[in-house]
Amino acid sequence: MPDETTAAGRGALLTPLAPAMRRVLGHFCTGIAVITAHDGAHPIGFTCQSVTSVSLEPPYISFCPSANSTSWPLIREVGSLCVNVLARGQRDVCARFATRGGDKFKEVDWFAGSNGAPTLVGTLAAIEADVELEHAAGDHTIVVARVTGLWAHDERSPLLFFRGDYGVFDENDDV
């Protein structure tokens, strides 16, 4: 008997317009990160859910800021950054850095990492990196950065994004 994941059971394909793309790709659960840098005078940051490992040798990651981001050009100019992987209890941090303007770092504890970029307190992991490559890709930019240092907190759980909302692992599910 076909199910909805087979060609016979799925029906017609959707046209890849923005609402359908958002809905269907929202079924791919992602972590949430805050990309940060410091220009010597001010900390800079934005929320990003498109972060992935690219290569172990050399150590590359990528992330995709919006093409209309006002923070990304400032971080690009600095060149050194930190990818702060948010932990389960950091929804407020996610929301704060997803806004435009204002002091995003107000009431957020952080310290300067070894490359000067803000490392947010309470995160699941932090990845320091230097921007190496960029590629314009529609309404976003694909950034490839060389990892220069990283750490993870093994006792914390991730803040997840799924179907347009926050999610968590169900501790009762078998993995």
CATH of the domain at 39: 2.30.110.10
What are the tokens at 86? Answer: 């948010």
Print burial letters for 28-44: b (CB count within 10 Å at least 16), e (below 16). eebbbbbbbbbeeeebb
Domain count, the chain: 1
Pairing of the two strands 30-31 and 118-120: unpaired
Say if 133 falls within a structural domain.
yes
Say if 85 falls within a structural domain.
yes
pLDDT in tens, 121-153: 999 999 999 999 999 999 999 999 999 999 999
What is the longest distance spanned by two Cα atoms in the chain? Answer: 63
Say if 109 falls within a structural domain.
yes
Say if 56 falls within a structural domain.
yes
pLDDT in tens, 42-87: 999 999 988 999 999 999 999 999 999 999 999 999 999 999 999 9
CA distance 162 to 61: 22
pLDDT in tens, 92-124: 999 999 998 889 999 999 999 999 999 999 999
Say if 158 falls within a structural domain.
yes
pLDDT in tens, 10-25: 678 888 888 887 788 6
State whether residue 166 is helix, strand or coil. strand
User: What is the domain extent for residue 41?
Assistant: 30-162
Note whether 86 and 45 are within 8 A (CB): no
How far the first Cα of the chain sits from its last, in Å, is 26
Say if 91 falls within a structural domain.
yes
Looking at residue 46, what is its pLDDT? 96
Model confidence, pTM: 0.86
DSSP string across 70-111: SSHHHHHHH-EEEEEEPBTT-HHHHHHHTSSSS-TTTT--EE
Note whether 82 and 119 are within 8 A (CB): yes
